[in-house]
Each structure stands twice: as C-alpha cells, then as structure tokens.
C-alpha cells in the first residue's frame, strides 16, 4: 500500500528506494530537509512501516544535508522511528549510513540512541 499522503504530494515524506543491490539488498534514502511534512509523525511512521514491510534486507542512507534546528526539534518523530525500526525491522537492516552529518544530527542521534537496540547502534556509520 502506498503512503496516501505521498500519493497526493510526493514531497511530503522523504523515504524512498534508490537501488537494489545484486544480492537483493534494497537501499533506502531519506533526507529530512527535503520533506515538506517532516513533522507528520503518524504519516511518516505509516510510510516507513508500509514500505519496510515489503522489503527483505535493506540499508538506510540518512542524508543530513541541511538538517536544521526545526528538524532536530521533531524528537517525537525520531524516537518513534527508532522504536519502530528497533522492534520490527532490525533483523533485516544491514547498515545505517549517515551522510553529511552535522551538529544537529549528532544531537538528534544522542537523543535517539537509547531507543535503538544494541544491534542497530552497531550498524550506524558516518560518511563525511
């Protein structure tokens, strides 16, 4: 099922498949600064849950370019995503690649880390 919010406005949430590797691993990409509804917790959770429920192994590329104070203030969105992925999708998640990390993203990850299981914490890498 497609996210109904993104069906109406594709800029609403930023979570899309960008590649499938030869082994079948799917590369998912998010850039919160490009999401027009980065504060839409319920819609974002629905979007991620629906998409991830269709995947096997996956890698998450989190592009932090232009991640601002406004984005960082959406702690509930980040914590809810951490809980969703930790509880339902951690076994298929192979890596989280944070590109263009910034001070704001470091603060957000510090806040979210307690809500990530140990396995997911071990999967986070930074590409500067």
Nearest-angstrom CA–CA distance, 25 and 6:
24
Task: Give tens-digit pLDDT for 95-104.
Answer: 999 999 988 8
Query: Terminus-to-terminus CA distance in the chain, angstroms?
Result: 35
Task: Give tens-digit pLDDT for 33-79.
Answer: 888 887 788 888 998 999 999 999 999 999 999 887 787 778 888 99
pLDDT higher than 90, residue 22: yes
Is-contact 32 61, C-beta < 8 A? no
Nearest-angstrom CA–CA distance, 54 and 92:
11
Fold held by 4-127: Phosphatidylinositol Transfer Protein Sec14p (3.40.525)
What is the pLDDT, as a whole number, of residue 8?
A: 82
Q: Are strands 124-127 and 58-63 parallel, antiparallel or unpaired?
A: unpaired
What is the pLDDT, as a whole number, of residue 43?
A: 86
Residue with tokens 């974002």: 44
Is-contact 17 28, C-beta < 8 A? yes
Percentage of the chain surpassing pLDDT 90? Answer: 54
Task: For residue 124, name the pLDDT band (cuts at 50, 70, 90).
Answer: very high
Nearest-angstrom CA–CA distance, 112 and 77:
10
Question: How many residues does this entry show for the chain?
Answer: 128
Task: For residue 1, name the pLDDT band (cuts at 50, 70, 90).
Answer: low
What is the pLDDT, as a whole number, of residue 52?
A: 95
pTM: 0.88
Q: Is 19 exposed, middle or buried (0-12, 13-18, 19+ CB in 10 A)?
A: exposed
């Amino acid at each position: 099922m497609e996210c109904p919010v993104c069906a109406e406005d594709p800029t609403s949430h930023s979570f899309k498949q960008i590649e499938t590797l030869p082994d079948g691993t799917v590369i998912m990409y998010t850039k919160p600064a490009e999401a027009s509804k980065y504060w839409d917790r319920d819609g974002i959770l629905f979007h991620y849950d629906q998409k991830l429920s269709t995947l096997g192994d996956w890698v998450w590329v989190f592009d932090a370019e232009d991640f601002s104070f406004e984005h960082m203030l959406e702690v509930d969105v980040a914590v809810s995503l951490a809980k969703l992925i930790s509880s339902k999708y951690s076994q298929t998640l192979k890596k989280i690649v944070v590109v263009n990390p910034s001070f704001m993203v470091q603060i957000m990850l510090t806040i979210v880390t307690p809500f990530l299981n140990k396995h997911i914490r071990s999967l986070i890498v930074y590409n500067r």
